[in-house]
Amino acid sequence: MKDTVNSTATFEGQFARDFAELAIPWRAEEAPDPRLLVLNEPLAVDLGLDPDYLRSPEGTLLLIGNGLPDGATPVAQAYAGHQFGWYAPRLGDGRALLLGELTHADGRLRDVHLKGSGRTPFARGGDGRAVVGPMLREYIVSESMHALGVPTTRSLAVVATGRPVQRDTVLPGAVLTRVASSHLRVGSFQYARATGDIDLLRRLADYAISRHHPAAAEAENRYLALFEAVVEAQASLLARWMLVGFVHGVMNTDNMTISGETIDYGPCAFMDAFDPAASFSSIDETGRYAYRNQPPVAEWNLARLAETLLPLIHDDQDKAAELAVEALGGFRPQYSAAWAAGMKAKIGLRGVKDDAASPLVDELLALLQAARADYTSFFRALAQAARGRRESARNMVADAAAFESWAERWCALEPDADAMDRVNPVYIPRNHLVEEALAAGTDGDVGPLGRLMEAVSSPFDERPGLERYAEPGPEDTAYRTFCGT
């Protein structure tokens, strides 16, 4: 924590200043009757912002870009992107603005960004707005991911604007104030590359190196090293998603960061029943972004990033492609190693050799899939099994005899139950609880949101009174979340 917290932390306008080609100066739409719904006080303090000030009418205006803070030079950022496999050359912030950068208590810069702040020149047919429900979903899920130790953008606040917004029905408008290591996306590089301005591309790559992957600056081929660093960060990120049962829902290249943080929580969800085909997004009709497809999709997106960097990697484009393909080849082994290590930890066998642990992991996942067992609560029950109380885990799988045979071999390796409880969450933002908090928040009642946040902010620490936050919802195969609202 910083010693002094002031109400007027000074924003830097680095991106706005240095990347005029990728940034259109723009102002947030005036909110008729702004009302703060939720504020992330610890994050505010880490950014040098005074929570009491942010709760004041003036501070609330700052959170939505209506009262411009010192140094803020809001811009809409340009980017391109492959959406469901199809290239869109000009996406950009259609309803979002980068306010500027602030220095976090850790000494590094963070982007402060608005989502739902009105139409920009990138809005195409959209109204530039967002509504309370989906902005609260991003708040809940991103902060849960952070508490679970998964790299992610953060949520500073959600402010209801007081403006009715037309969707299927009329819904209350809102702005999410988002904080990120940066908003550089694979799509930012696709856009820069498509301009044909190699100097711009090089400056963008240098900026990404300095903000996210500074070790690449020391490498012999710094742009190849940048690509390798992004591959590594994404391989690690994807393993973490898979280990906690997270389904992003819209893994378009404009929704994949260079920093390795999860970004853009739209139609995302945690799966309850273990199902490799789990998919929740109403717009993902073919299951392109289903749970099991996420690692290969990330690899596909990284190939698109590689294509943009080829002119920087080597003068000879054949040689550049060869180097990039080799670097991309690191994704699968890095992902597999991170996932296997994480799975070993989930079953309490961190110190056990892979050739003993991997067959147990594979067998266990097959049992969970056959039973459609609740993925999150099963691993907590399994820690109890490691303590000698096998009943609840056994009851969660259909084939009790197969579970007993598995558990005998597993127990022989002496799983560490306490270590399991440190990596297997009790509380995740379960779909029915998220929906409950969103519905109440849309009606102006943030009580359920506050209680859910209390549970998911300390996900590994089981507490009395929070039992309903640990339980799976009703069988959820039909759960659908809707995008872009």
| 3-class SS string, 233-262 | HHHHHHHHHHHHCEECCCCCHHHCECCCCE
In whole angstroms, the minimum distance from the beta carbon of 93 to ligand AMP comes to 5
Structure tokens at 277: 């085909």
Which of 118/425 has CB closer to ligand AMP? Answer: 118
Q: Are 233 and 260 in contact (CB under 8 A)?
A: yes
* 264 scored as a contact of Mg ion (CB under 5 A): yes
Which of 74/266 has CB closer to Mg ion? Answer: 266
In whole angstroms, the minimum distance from the beta carbon of 135 to ligand AMP comes to 11
**CA triplet 362, 380, 399: central angle to 5 degrees?**
50
In whole angstroms, the minimum distance from the beta carbon of 388 to ligand AMP comes to 48
* 29 scored as a contact of Mg ion (CB under 5 A): no
Which of 126/359 has CB closer to Mg ion? Answer: 126
**Torsion angle (degrees, nearest 10) of CA 179, 181, 186, 191:** 70
- From the DSSP assignment, how many helices (H) and strands (E) are in the chain? 19, 11
The contact set with ligand AMP (CB under 6 A) reads 91-96, 122-123, 126-129, 250, 255, 264, 266, 483-484
In whole angstroms, the minimum distance from the beta carbon of 248 to ligand AMP comes to 11
Tell me, yes or no, if 254 is annotated catalytic: yes
Continuous segment of H or E residues that includes residue 407: helix 400-411
346 binds, among ligand AMP, Mg ion, none (CB under 5 to 8 A by kind): none
* 142 scored as a contact of Mg ion (CB under 5 A): no
296 binds, among Mg ion, ligand AMP, none (CB under 5 to 8 A by kind): none
Give the binding range for Mg ion (CB under 5 A) out of 257-265, 271-279, 381-389, 471-479: 257-265
Orientation angle between helical segments 331-346 and 222-244, nearest 10 degrees: 30
* 255 scored as a contact of Mg ion (CB under 5 A): yes
Structure tokens at 479: 């759960």
Residue 20 has what DSSP assignment? G
Which of 46/264 has CB closer to Mg ion? Answer: 264
Which of 134/348 has CB closer to ligand AMP? Answer: 134
- 166-179 in b/e form (b: 16+ CB < 10 A) is eeeeebbbbbbbbb
- In 3D space, the residue among 362, 138, 365, 329 whose CA is nearest the CA of residue 235 turns out to be 329
In whole angstroms, the minimum distance from the beta carbon of 146 to ligand AMP comes to 20
Which is catalytic among the residues 50, 93, 111, 254?
254
Burial class, 416, CB count within 10 angstroms (exposed 0-12 / middle 13-18 / buried 19+): middle
Q: Which residues are catalytic?
A: 254
Residues that bind Mg ion (CB under 5 A): 255, 264
